[in-house]
Amino acid sequence: MLTQEQKDFYDTNGYLLVEDAVTPLQLARLLDITDRLIDASRAVTESSDVYDLDDGHGPAAPRLTRIKIPHQRDPYFWDVLRHSAMTEVLTDLLGPDTNLLTSKLNTKAPGGGRAVEWHQDWAFYPHTNDHLLAFGLMLEDVTPDSGPLMVIPGSHRGPVLSHHMNGVFAGAIDPDDPLFERHRAVTLTGRAGSMTVHHVRTLHGSAPNLSERARKILFYEIAAAHAWPLLGSGSYFHALGQRRFWDDLNDRMITGKPCLQPRVEPVPVRMPLPPAPVTGSIFKTQQSAGAKSAFSQ
Ligand SMILES: O=C(O)CCC(=O)C(=O)O
């Protein structure tokens, strides 16, 4: 699926924009399921295992920051990851054996939907090596004013910046960190059906949604099977016990099979501890830890 040029671009820059990652039919179905999930949130009054609510959410006008783990809400989110051009992009970049860490549908509401402060996913879930990435499938057109993903090219090869603030893991860097080269940021806009890919160490963030449309991006966070989690979102499985853990891991394989020999590489790791006061989503982590904003809201 990817050309050698695209693979080289990803290696050098730590990100990629891929057009037509799903077919028009797949896109329409994903959007329909998403809109039904958003509609069902009208009755919800508090953030839950399914929804992360934004300020001003109510029955008349749903305002969500996120639908959590969509592939557990509807199997089609899982199907599409396994049977689309996305699957090929995945094996092109991570090899034949891959597993899904988690999924999330960031649905920035129109007219002000939340910024995501600058961060590196790696800081949230360090592994034995950094062969991990995130896909961001645009369910609707993403424009410069709708809070698109922004990345710092090449930052996946640079340092892992501090994501601690006020003595806790804040899930965001300090925008005044001298290592943060904000002037080099690239904005990733595209037509519905396009997909961003970013390396687990690539610095990224996004501004509030100032447009009158919701910005719906479906994110999948994915690891090569030889990368084993040290801590973070994948580490819930330490609490499962070995049998349930094994079943869970097999259920999360996207392609190929589990790998029982982790590849251990000399990667920079700082544990995401102590946790922020509220950790239900990146929005809650950043807000409750008092992360400094890089975006004026
Ligand atoms: O929604 C976005 O623009 C960025 C999402 C992100 O980086 C995250 O949820 O970790």
Give the residue-averaged pLDDT of 40-67. 91
- For residue 225, the model assigns a pLDDT of 98
Q: Which atom belonging to ligand 1 lies closest to the Cα atom of 124? A: 10
Residue, of 175 and 240, whose pLDDT is higher: 175
pLDDT tens profile 28-43: 999 999 999 999 999 9
3 confidence band (pLDDT: 50, 70, 90): very high
Q: Does ligand 1 lie within 6 Å of residue 282's CB atom?
A: yes
Ligand 1 centroid, distance to 40 Cα (angstroms)? 23
- For residue 1, the model assigns a pLDDT of 84
Nearest to 116 by CA among 46, 21, 215: 215
- Whether residue 232 is predicted with pLDDT greater than 90 in this model: the reply is no
Q: Which atom belonging to ligand 1 lies closest to the Cα atom of 121? A: 10
Q: Does ligand 1 lie within 6 Å of residue 149's CB atom?
A: yes
233 confidence band (pLDDT: 50, 70, 90): low
3-class DSSP state for residue 181? coil
Give the residue-averaged pLDDT of 158-176. 96
234 confidence band (pLDDT: 50, 70, 90): low
Q: Does ligand 1 lie within 6 Å of residue 206's CB atom?
A: yes
With contact defined as beta carbons under 8 Å apart, do 123 and 267 qualify?
no
Residue 131 CB neighbour total at 10 angstroms: 21
> Mean pLDDT score of the chain, rounded to an integer?
94
Going 50 to 56 to 61 to 63, the CA torsion angle's sign is negative
Pocket test for ligand 1, best of 66, 103, 104, 106 (most atoms within 8 A of CB): 106
- For residue 113, the model assigns a pLDDT of 86
Give the residue-averaged pLDDT of 246-262. 96
Residue closest via CA to ligand 1's atom 9 equals: 282
Q: Does ligand 1 lie within 6 Å of residue 106's CB atom?
A: yes
Nearest to 152 by CA among 293, 12, 297: 12
Ligand 1 centroid, distance to 130 Cα (angstroms)? 18
- Whether residue 297 is predicted with pLDDT greater than 70 in this model: the reply is no
Residue, of 240 and 19, whose pLDDT is higher: 19
Q: Which atom belonging to ligand 1 lies closest to the Cα atom of 147? A: 3
Ligand 1 centroid, distance to 283 Cα (angstroms)? 9
206 confidence band (pLDDT: 50, 70, 90): very high
Q: Which atom belonging to ligand 1 lies closest to the Cα atom of 217? A: 1
Ligand 1 centroid, distance to 136 Cα (angstroms)? 9
Distance CA 68, CA 51 (A): 6
- For residue 24, the model assigns a pLDDT of 97
Pocket test for ligand 1, best of 66, 211, 219, 222 (most atoms within 8 A of CB): 219
CA-to-CA dists, residue 16 to 7, 155, 189, 204, 253, angstroms:
9, 13, 11, 13, 23
Q: Does ligand 1 lie within 6 Å of residue 217's CB atom?
A: yes
Nearest to 294 by CA among 183, 176, 188: 176
Ligand 1 centroid, distance to 71 Cα (angstroms)? 17
pLDDT tens profile 92-111: 999 999 999 999 999 998 88
Distance CA 136, CA 18 (A): 10
